[in-house]
A and B are shown apart, each in its own frame.
Chain A
């Protein structure tokens, strides 16, 4: 089950535009082409539309114009079709920890009806080093533990593409390092696109960096893209170069 489907996962975005209402475009005529496997880090300020972009990739939102192709298949506005190719790890703040659910059940519930079983859920938890949490209630977990469970939930279906929305938020520094190592390991056989405010953890592990603010502003290798002038395009003047290190302060 956990063998990753497809040899070379790919994401293609073709002139995508989206607005929640009116003419305020959250994603403006953006295009992107990524092939995997590997880790892609997406950087952008709060409110830049990264989560919206992920939802467009997953078919959960239908764009005003443009297309999304996952592994060559048009999945625009079609979450069922997209679910064959991609999985999603939401921000921890969106996850309801008060639900009486064990880790194994959280993973199991994301499996298709015919494949749903505890043993499959345990396999996925094993992959993320969380097998010992299988019978623990979600409300009794730390942020790092819950994030591993949510990653297992995404991995359980064996899709070759995984989108992770700020997987380091709400996790202590030690937990973040552990998640970053896990993501690096997983990216060896999958195309993982990860949004974050903490690029230090992922830059050296990424094959590509995408600078995003209401559309793709720049994309390329970390050493080519993680630069003052390109980051300022997304973050504005709040990016400073201090002691040869880039800092986002605004």
Chain B
């Protein structure tokens, strides 16, 4: 069985990035945001592609630049007193309608030059060296930032008011986490695919929360379950000729079910 090093880099790099962010998403109750991010990422990636053709530049750079303002706006609305449900509804409505319109435009105007399917289904097996480098460039600082801010995020998650009273800049952390999630979701969309991205963002944290007995174990278990599902999913996809993203999703689900059966979550 041939295993290309680029596949391994893309899959494990993505797994590390999502696995390190997932406990933060869980602790900060950002799952509403994480679940809606793939919609926004798909819109940004599609528009980024169009802009890179018309104005030059790298499509990923355009996509990241386009995705940040809506995410920042969402957090701004939440801080302005708009309810999570209302803000998320508006965010998802905008990004879903926008992504459909943008994809339709791209598919009817550039039919032979782009495959949006790779963004929708995810295809790490088509990754080139530039894709692998992008994943590394995103994953390394993401893991570092997630680890660096972890205790503050846990403190806010425990109780935001007492965290603020202890000198943690809660508002800054809200924006930082939202923007970090956005950058990762957009940059790694091709590696994991639109349909499963929110799963890899949410499940590692949910698994770790059931099994961990401490905050440090929570982070480590989330990272470990994400990396294990990435490696096992890649192997499974190669052996069984499955879509890699689907195989990774199945493995994550299997780990989650096992954690439920093991009666974790003291």
Contact = CB atoms under 8 A, between A and B. Distances in A.
Nearest to A55: B161
Interface in A97-150: 98-102, 105-106, 108-112, 116, 135, 137-140, 150
A89 interface: yes
B162 A90 contact: yes
A101 B162 contact: no
B98 interface: no
Contacts of A30: none
A154 interface: yes
For chain A, the bracket of interface size reads: 35 or more
B154 A83 contact: no
A191 B209 CA distance: 37
A110 B163 contact: yes
Contacts of A86: 165
A137 B266 contact: yes
Contacts of B154: 99, 101, 105, 109
Contact of A80 (B158, B162, B167): B167
B157 A99 contact: yes
Given A21-B81, A79-B167, A102-B213, A95 B158 contact: yes
Interface in B154-213: 154-155, 157-159, 161-167, 169, 208-209, 212-213
A200 interface: no
A138 B155 CA distance: 13
B165 A79 contact: yes
A55 to B, nearest CB: 7
Interface residues of B, number: 27
Given A83-B166, A109-B155, A140 B161 contact: no
Interface stretch (B43-51, B99-107, B124-132, B214-222): B214-222
A82 interface: yes
Interface in A56-77: 58, 60
B141 to A, nearest CB: 19
A87 interface: yes
Contacts of A101: 154, 158, 214-215, 218
B123 interface: no
Nearest to A94: B159
A83 B165 contact: yes
Contacts of B208: 100
Nearest to A83: B167
8 contacts: A55-B161, A79-B165, A80-B169, A88-B162, A101-B218, A102-B215, A153-B162, A154-B166
Given A60-B164, A88-B161, A100-B212, 18 more contacts: A60-B165, A79-B164, A80-B169, A82-B165, A83-B164, A90-B159, A99-B218, A100-B213, A100-B215, A100-B217, A100-B218, A101-B218, A105-B214, A109-B158, A109-B215, A137-B213, A140-B266, A154-B162
